[in-house]
Amino acid sequence: MGEVFENHFEELENCCLCEWKCGVNRLKGEKGVCRLGKPEIASTQLHPAPPQSYTVFFVGCNYKCLGCQNYQIAHFPDQNRASHWFMDPKFAAEDAIMMINSPFGRSIRADRIFFSGGEATCSLPYAEKIVEEARKIDPRIKVNFDTNGFLTEESLERVLRFSNSITYDIKAYHDDVHRALTGAPVGPVLRNVEVIGKEAKDKLWEFRVLVIPGLNEGEIKPICDFIASIDPSLPLNFLAFRPNFVLDRYYGAPRDLMRKAVKIGRMAGLEHVDWCGSSGIKGLDYVIEKIDVYMREESKIAGGFAFLAGCKTHPRDCGRCKNNQNCSLKKYQPIRRT
């Protein structure tokens, strides 16, 4: 394993894959915001959801989202209950091709390797090498890259070179709401939305917005207006929030809100907008102490949830937080998972 890393992943000696640009030597055990050392896989599986694929879930993430669905994977190693292993890229590629061509793979019409997580950007060199090996076996194999958009411009260029499709999450439009929900600034995310929308429209599977009632409802219209201003034909899918992680006792997005989001998108001029997910999951009504350093009411409430989970740096900025290597929020243990 060590030889494979030394031969292919030298850039992790000064990691600047995402916009945190931590510059740490991950091969020697130094940790940046994502807290990852060497890239590892959490799980692999054939997945029937569009795009149908063989999905590789990487551990680790450069965000600390309050409602993280895959928190056991994303917050590895602090959530140390997830399985994790390193597979030689050649073997990983062989397994992917075999599974895609298996009877079940053919039955669901899987036609690509789908990199997800966590955040796949943290494992970008690993993904690139798997793709390289896979295309030695089958040059026609497709690739989807799933991302939160917090890539450097250079990393995005690399992703666009080897990917056939991209699924791209937008958490918020305004910086204070984005910081409260994720711990990261929104600027790079919006910059990369524009790059994809203007220069790589053919590679976009869809933009995705997780709708969290009361915490980013006000972001729906500016996100729709922003995307429509780039190109009204860009696809957008709203995802109904399910209570998870720090927001485990919160309530899910109701059906009426999801329909409203689609209507807002269409009124903004978007030609391809829809929603999916389980709506209306019940939660508890309880009072959260607002953090007034944020500008908008929604971000004040989201900041309160983060504070309740142990985040003491506000506005949230995980790159500059002195506790980012001992983050209480990353260690949060939810009561329920939906």
Structural domain harbouring 279: 2-331
Tens digits of residue pLDDT in 166-209: 999 999 999 999 999 999 999 999 999 999 999 999 999 999 99
Residue 336 lies in a domain: no
Regarding predicted confidence, which is higher, 205 or 9?
205
Mean pLDDT in the chain? 95
Residue 139 lies in a domain: yes
Stretch 224-237: mean pLDDT:
98
Residue 119 lies in a domain: yes
Can you give the pLDDT at residue 93?
98
Tally of structural domains, the chain = 1
Least confident of 37-51, 253-267, 281-295: 281-295
Can you give the pLDDT at residue 2?
52
Residue 280: pLDDT band with limits 50, 70, 90: confident
Residue 211: pLDDT band with limits 50, 70, 90: very high
Residue 337 lies in a domain: no
Least confident of 85-89, 125-129, 168-172, 278-282: 278-282
Q: What is the CATH number of the domain that holds 326?
A: 3.20.20.70
Residue 248 pLDDT exceeds 80:
yes
Residue 3 pLDDT exceeds 80:
no
Residue 6 pLDDT exceeds 60:
no
Stretch 15-22: mean pLDDT:
98
Q: What percent of the chain has pLDDT over 70?
A: 97
Residue 338 lies in a domain: no
Tens digits of residue pLDDT in 298-327: 999 999 999 999 999 999 999 999 999 999
Residue 7: pLDDT band with limits 50, 70, 90: low
Can you give the pLDDT at residue 286?
74
Residue 68: pLDDT band with limits 50, 70, 90: very high
Tens digits of residue pLDDT in 82-122: 689 999 999 999 999 999 999 999 999 999 999 999 999 99
Residue 41 lies in a domain: yes
Residue 25 lies in a domain: yes
Can you give the pLDDT at residue 83?
83
Can you give the pLDDT at residue 80?
73
232 φ/ψ angles, rounded to the nearest 5 degrees: -60, -15
